[in-house]
Amino acid sequence: MTNRMFLHMASLLAILLSVASPAQAADKAIILQSTTSTANSGLYDHLLPLFTARTGITVHVVAVGTGQAIRNARNGDGDVLLVHAKAAEEKFVADGYGVERFDVMYNDFIIVGPASDPAMVGGSQDATAALKAIAKAKALFASRGDNSGTHKKELLLWTAAGVEPTAASGTWYRETGSGMGATLNVAAGMSAYALTDRGTWISFKNKGDAKIQVEGDAALFNQYGVMLVNPAKHPNVKAKWGQAFIDWILSEDGQAAIAAYNLGGKQLFFPNGSRGAS
């Protein structure tokens, strides 16, 4: 249309950019695509200030499910990825979106459920047997249903138990399609069983009468991995600072900081970082 119209639009853009500037002003900052389980447990509030004090690099955490975190990282919307779904992470690297994957820490999954324990699985150390019992009793089970790391683990356990739970979706098997906390809120609200990582459970405040029913099975191992988003694929990736974060979290200092984090005297994450084959 006219020059006037153009000026109008230009001034709108100027307003937008003037408000926008603080994001770009933070000179040394990286975006960490990570999972709700690590962020909600408070681990990053403990770790990141230590890293920033050491290097002057600020870390902005986007906490979403592992599936979405990997998707965002594939789009180049992040510099470092720290999630917990080893197979998906290795595919991410194999497809060229990540540089190299390193183990960083672990904890474990647990099955929580109502104190009344309708499927009578309390105290069991056998996750697959417990899931079989839950399916047999048609006891309510709240699933993430969101393609997250926890959801993928849950599906592996159902397969191992020889149960196809999605056939019962909407009856005793309830797929929430939401994050860990939201799913635990649902489980607490409807007295359902749920698979959760221990970190989220310890820090979760709305437990109601739910408690840990199954723990200690080797199949419930929960490994976290860290990797740099490939700058060859996405030139915007801040490779130097992202690598500095990975180097630090795998260093003795970083690993000790992970081990030092606890809630109410309980250690949430156990460092097992290695530089792998490199």
Partner 1 sequence: MQDFGQAFSLAFALVFSGDADLLEIIVLSLKVSLTAVGLSCAIGLPLGAGLAISRFPGRGVVLVVVNALMGLPPVVVGLMVYLTLSNAGPFGWLQLLYSPSAMIIAQTVLITPIIAALSTQVISDLHAEYAEQFRSLSVSPRHAVTALLWDARFSLMTVALAGFGRAVAEVGAVIIVGGNINHLTRVMTTAIALETSKGDLALALALGIVLMTIALVVTAMVMTMRRTATAYAYA
Out of 105, 131, 140, 184, name the contact with partner 1 by CB under 8 A: 184
d(CA 227, CA 249): 11
Applying CB under 8 A, which part among 114-122, 166-174, 179-187, 243-251 lies near partner 1? 179-187
Q: Which of 271, 224, 162, 185 is nearest to 32 (CA)?
A: 224
Decide: is 62 part of the binding site for partner 1 (CB under 8 A).
yes
Tell me how many residues contact partner 1 (CB under 8 A): 38
- Mapped onto helix, strand or coil, the DSSP state of residue 170 is coil
Out of 57, 74, 134, 250, name the contact with partner 1 by CB under 8 A: 74
Out of 1, 10, 23, 218, name the contact with partner 1 by CB under 8 A: 23
Decide: is 36 part of the binding site for partner 1 (CB under 8 A).
yes
The residues, any chain, with a CB within 8 Å of residue 4's CB and separated by 6 or more, are: none
In contact, 65 and 35? CB cutoff 8 Å: yes
Applying CB under 8 A, which part among 126-134, 135-143, 165-173, 205-213 lies near partner 1? 205-213
d(CA 46, CA 52): 11
d(CA 121, CA 237): 47
Nearer to partner 1, 78 or 254 (CB): 78
Instruction: Return the structure tokens found at 257.
Output: 């900081």
Residues 216-235 that bind partner 1 (CB under 8 A): 234
At residue 163's C-alpha, the angle toward residues 157 and 165, to 5°, is 90
Give the residues lining the site for partner 1 (CB under 8 A). 8, 12, 15-17, 19-20, 22-24, 26, 31, 36, 40, 45, 60-63, 72, 74-77, 179-182, 184-185, 188, 203-207, 234, 236
